[in-house]
Amino acid sequence: MGCMRYLSEAHLRGFERYKYSSIDTSFLSVYVMHPFWNYCVKFVPKWLAPNVLTFVGFLMTVVNFILIAYYDWGFEAANSEAGNTVPAWVWTVAAINILIYYNLDGMDGKQARRTGTSGPLGELFDHGLDSYSAALIPIYLFSLFGTHDLPPIRMFFVIWNVFLNFYLTHVEKYNTGVMFLPWGYDFTMWGVSGMLFVATVFGPEMYRFSIYGFTVANMFEFVLIGSGMVSSHPIIARNIYLSYKNKTGKMRPMWEMLRPFFAFVWLFVITVVWSFFSRNDVINKEPRILWILYGTIFSNIACRLIVAQMSDTRCDSFNVLMWPLAATVGVCCFPYYQQVFDTDLTSDTERWILYGLTIFSTLAHWHYGYGVVSEMCDHFHIRCFKVRKSSSQSGSDITQPLLQNNNKIKPLKSH
């Protein structure tokens, strides 16, 4: 990576000491999905690196995004009086791809233990790509509802709710040292795939009905936001509290405990300002590009938090990609633009600024991800997408319990 390095010596030493610790109490995951994944992974060749499974699963979410965007760039296909104009087969492909992503995400860790390649790189690679998928997956469902039933400003808060649910899990681990796998993940993946399959069988028009003004889109928002507030957020707060009470966590001072929220809140504030105060109402003209931009910067923030939590180092309080974002928002929302510059900011100009910033942020994030993975591979003398022969021969049985917490043995999901 030349002179630019993203991992310090403290990071690398922390990765050397790192041991994965997780607790999974979801009955769907423990009693249904884990046995299924244990069975399926036996058919995966031992020469296939677990990171290949992770990356292929992620690519399925990218394919979905490109495919649906091709037929419904502006989320307006569902607005047609004749019904949703996206071909039925698109929903089928998207539903299948979601299941492929979900199951490969569950199998990659088992493949890692089966081939003896478990380590911090696999977990970082897995969760880092998941942070990107957190932005992509909800975008698929927006095309089921259209901008009439789910205006872009409400899409914005749905996206941010998904960001929050993902991020809080890693804030929890940053402070407790344990990954408490959320119940909602498994049900969400099946729910998303199910909604897409239903659109294939009955047509996406079924998502357009309402009862006394309460639409399916309203129900979607209510369930998505409410489930996090009920089944996730209080439990995360309780787990962090208990880690301090029982002195089992990282025992960080109060401001250090809250430090991961600083960059997250800054990003939320900046994006809210642009979404509400754009001089050209960019959120209604280019919502898809906005979600990709916001999701890319969020993923970078989440990846840096994951690096900090795994290496037991101090996380960032501000993200470097927010500097160009803040400057752009300042220009696009400046209230006295016309008086100062003697001309107004045109809609096309703001769009090109948005395109340019999205490309820049995406390339910068990809460079960060490539750099971190390369540096870890160099440090541990491994290759990201290749299994060493010596490792594959020493692989352990995937059904063997690998973690014991509070005298309860729980199956692991990541590698």
**Is a pLDDT exceeding 50 seen at residue 282?**
yes
pLDDT digits (tens, 9 = 90+) for 141-168: 999 999 999 999 999 999 999 999 999 9
Please identify every residue annotated as catalytic. 127
Tell me the chain's radius of gyration from C-alpha atoms: 22
The CB-based long-range contact list for 84-89 (8 Å cut-off, 24+ gap) reads 84/143, 84/144, 84/146, 84/199, 84/203, 84/204, 84/205, 86/143, 86/204, 88/199, 88/200, 88/203, 89/200
CB 108 within 8 A of CB 53: yes
Nearest to 398, CA basis, from 18, 42, 29, 156: 42
Secondary structure of residue 23 in the 3-state scheme: strand
Average pLDDT, the chain: 90
Is 414 within 8 Å of 127 (Cβ atoms)?
Answer: yes
Classify the C-alpha dihedral 344-350-356-358 as positive or negative.
positive
Return the pLDDT at 394. Answer: 39
Confidence bin at 390 (pLDDT 50/70/90): low
Whether the CA torsion 252, 257, 262, 264 is positive or negative: it is positive
Instruction: Find the angle CA(301)-CA(306)-CA(309) to the nearest 5 degrees.
Output: 125
Query: Is there a contact between 312 and 319 (Cβ–Cβ < 8 Å)?
Result: no
pLDDT digits (tens, 9 = 90+) for 72-83: 999 998 887 767
Strand partners, 408: 405
| Rounded CA separation 238/195 (Å) | 32
What distance in Å separates the CA atoms of residue 264 and residue 5, rounded to the nearest whole number?
23
270 in Cβ contact with 326 (< 8 Å): yes
Half-sphere exposure of 130 (CA within 13 A, CB side): 25
Q: Report the DSSP pairing between strands 179-181 and 22-24.
A: parallel
Between 208 and 324, whose confidence is greater? 324
Above pLDDT 70, what percent of the chain? 93
> Distance between CA atoms of 292 and 358, rounded to whole angstroms?
7
Report the pLDDT averaged over residues 101-129.
94
Task: Quote the distance between the C-alpha of residue 135 and its chain's center.
Answer: 6
- The answer, as to whether pTM is greater than 0.95, is no
What pLDDT score was predicted for residue 2?
A: 55
Neighbours of 358 (CB within 10 A): 19
Residue 412 above 70 pLDDT? no
End-to-end CA distance of the chain: 25
